[in-house]
Amino acid sequence: MADIIQLLPDHVANQIAAGEVVQRPASVVKELIENAVDAGSTSIKLIIKDAGKTLVQVVDNGKGMSETDARLSFERHATSKIKAAEDLFQLHTKGFRGEALASIAAIAHVEMNTRQADEEVGVQIKIEGSTVVGQDVTVIPQGTSISVKNLFFNIPARRNFLKSDTVELRHIIDEFHRVALAHPDIHFEFYNNGSELFNLPVSNLRQRIVHIFGGKTNEKLVPVEEETEVVNLKGFICKPEFAKKTRGEQFFFVNNRFIKNSYLHHAVCAAFEGLIKEQTHPSYFLFLEVDPSGIDINIHPTKTEVKFDDEHAMYAILRSAVKHSLGQFNVAPVLDFERDSNLDTPYGYKSKNVNFPTVEVDADFNPFEKENKGKVSVSYPKQERLNNSWESLYVGLEKKSDFSSIEFESEEVTGSLFNEKEDEVSTATYQLHKKYIVTTIKSGMVIISQHRAHQRVLYEQYLKNITVDKGVSQQLLFPLKLNFSHTEIELLKELKDSLENTGFIFSNFKDDEVAVNGIPLNISESEVAMVVDQLLSDFQSEIPESSFSQADILAKAMCKTLAVKSGEILNAASQEALVNNLFATKDPTVSPFNKPTYITMSVEEIDKKFL
């Protein structure tokens, strides 16, 4: 039988490796920016076109490469980061496997321009699908510039799996945030389709967080710091009242490398237990410094998962450090509820000696000594005048009034504002345990979930407003200003037209603030921030591909927030209106989230209960 096993050609092996390393344009951004950081750059510029599908370019001012190194960098498993297997457990750099550039070059058009500081000219290399098509001398500043064009040009099937530009750009921004937060000592710039998205100057960690997520973030941050033999922990957590419904602003860094770890995340959530509402998530920016020999990074192709030697100790330290910070800065309530903070000794007076007060008494003081000098005469009314003063109020009213000649204008009742059979209507529905509405039908009775029923009614109402463009808005006397991160502001700009069809009116979009001039009729001013937060959380978790799905998510998010909750008391008129509106919808049997809105019980089923 003939041999069937054979070695794969290099270009095929590179494309297979690219499937692990390069999943989408954001993967290219991650690898190139991390290489720029490893090169010792102090300024990194990221340029994106068409969400990275057309161009991903990273320009840095690092140490650059020689001509030989530039050519070797595109070979598989060629790296300057490690030399032996033991080096995998003493890593101090971002990349180390030497597959990134080779994988990127296998599926794109790559152009590299690089120059070292001691060289007069640099080198330019052009590669298309792992094939070097040109190498030349070029004049550039010190550093490296890599352009990746036409991603997946030779693998059309992989290109078809890419999402919309909105989704891919969101992934790129996430990767950019992860590297920018880990290195506040580097100046980062981010340009998308010619417009500047981020310009992050060199700063400390707190300023870098504020520059990325908006100016209002500064008041949310609580510092965390703990030094132990196992781990050195520092960073910030956000106050419990600013907990979000999404897990967006949650960052763990181990030795300045972004990681995902559900076990450590549970430790932070355990510290917030009892301080935040259910189904909300705390925000945190935590940096862990551990011995590189105590972690294993090379367990996942994207290097976002690491394995610790002693996870239990890490869990306990992280949980106690976060809990300590919440209590230290009076974010968490103290246990002594009888304690009055106003009676606490100020910190500056704790080391001072106590001075007892003295009382001085003038023994020669006589309060009657000057009684006759400057005496003021005060006249008081006599008792008789006080007793008779009330009689003056009735002077001239001695004659008795005759009310016998007074006539009243008769009013003819032409109709009744309410139905005379109101009592009969009110008995048609009954609210059970403030959750369900019970009403009768010909065959028996119906038990309706008031929350799900109202969701269905509002969902179809909002969906009709969005698609037919008939949203009614109520103008606000004073614009309502809401604060969001830069990414959320960009998402609101995309949703502006659809939101205005429901009744919202937005104006004055700034980097971290938006003004609301009008809101839908059935939304109160206090509910606006809650509704918009719910909208953003739903869209960030499931960004739609088409305008219809966008309208669907928008209608679902609004009905989820504004529907009548379980536990609210409804009067008879509201119960009847909800029942009528539910059965007037197109699909009254299920809520917008495919859960049943009501159940029925026939008279026969009720009779069987009494057998």
Position 9 scores a pLDDT of 77
267 pLDDT above the threshold of 50: yes
Higher pLDDT, 86 or 490: 490
- The single-letter code of the amino acid at 19 is G
72 pLDDT tier (thresholds 50, 70, 90): confident
144 Cβ neighbours under 8 A, 6+ residues apart = 35, 36, 39, 59, 60, 62, 64, 65, 112, 113, 114
For 203-262, the three-class secondary structure string (H helix, E strand, C coil) is CCHHHHHHHHHCHHHHHHEEEEEEECCCCEEEEEEECHHHCECCCCCEEEEECCEEECCH
Position 225 scores a pLDDT of 92
How do the domains of the chain map onto residue ranges? Answer: 10-200, 212-328, 430-599
CA distances from 388 to 378, 391, 399, 555 (A): 21, 6, 20, 76
Position 436 scores a pLDDT of 93
The pLDDT tens digits for 270-301 are: 999 888 888 788 999 999 998 887 777 765 55
48 pLDDT tier (thresholds 50, 70, 90): very high
396 pLDDT above the threshold of 80: no
The pLDDT tens digits for 195-212 are: 888 999 999 999 999 999
Position 285 scores a pLDDT of 95
Position 420 scores a pLDDT of 47
Top-ranked range on mean pLDDT: pick from 110-114, 551-555, 562-566: 110-114
Give the chain's mean pLDDT. Answer: 81
* Cα–Cα distance, 528 to 285 (Å, whole number): 28
For 432, the token pair is 């059970």
The pLDDT tens digits for 429-453 are: 888 888 999 998 888 899 999 999 9
* Cα–Cα distance, 584 to 578 (Å, whole number): 10
* Cα–Cα distance, 141 to 64 (Å, whole number): 10
* Cα–Cα distance, 253 to 177 (Å, whole number): 12
Across the range 537-544, mean pLDDT stands at 67
520 pLDDT above the threshold of 50: yes
What is the CATH code of the structural domain delimited by 212-328? 3.30.230.10
CB burial string 275-304: b at 16+ within 10 A, e below: bbeeeebbbbbbbbebebeebebeeeeebe
- Whether 304 contacts 253, CB under 8 Å: no
527 pLDDT above the threshold of 60: yes
* Cα–Cα distance, 611 to 606 (Å, whole number): 9
Strand 284-289 and strand 232-238: the pairing is antiparallel
* Cα–Cα distance, 190 to 207 (Å, whole number): 17
- The single-letter code of the amino acid at 518 is G
Position 425 scores a pLDDT of 39
Return the closest-CA partner of residue 221 out of 202, 206, 232: 206
464 pLDDT above the threshold of 80: yes
Q: Give the 3-state secondary structure of residue 196.
A: strand
Among 63-77, 252-266, 408-422, whose mean pLDDT is lowest?
408-422
Among 35-39, 141-145, 318-322, 464-468, whose mean pLDDT is lowest?
464-468
Beta bridge partners of 24: none
Indicate left, alpha or beta for 571 from its phi (over 0: left) and psi (-120 to 50: alpha).
beta
Across the range 230-253, mean pLDDT stands at 87
Task: Report the run of H or E that residue 573 belongs to, with start and end.
Answer: helix 572-582
Position 47 scores a pLDDT of 95
400 pLDDT above the threshold of 70: no
487 pLDDT above the threshold of 70: yes
Across the range 92-112, mean pLDDT stands at 78
Across the range 131-153, mean pLDDT stands at 91
What is the CATH code of the structural domain delimited by 10-200? 3.30.565.10
Higher pLDDT, 555 or 376: 555
Return the closest-CA partner of residue 43 out of 119, 175, 123, 142: 142
Higher pLDDT, 82 or 560: 560
Position 41 scores a pLDDT of 93
Higher pLDDT, 495 or 610: 610
247 Cβ neighbours under 8 A, 6+ residues apart = 281
For 94, the token pair is 């971002």
Across the range 240-258, mean pLDDT stands at 85
* Cα–Cα distance, 188 to 176 (Å, whole number): 9
Position 253 scores a pLDDT of 92
Across the range 146-171, mean pLDDT stands at 86
Among 116-130, 475-489, 578-592, whose mean pLDDT is lowest?
475-489
430-599: which CATH topology? Ribosomal Protein S8; Chain: A, domain 1 (3.30.1370)
Say what the pTM is.
0.70
The pLDDT tens digits for 3-42 are: 788 887 776 776 666 666 788 899 999 989 988 998 889 9
* Cα–Cα distance, 431 to 424 (Å, whole number): 16
Position 181 scores a pLDDT of 94
Q: Give the 3-state secondary structure of residue 157.
A: helix
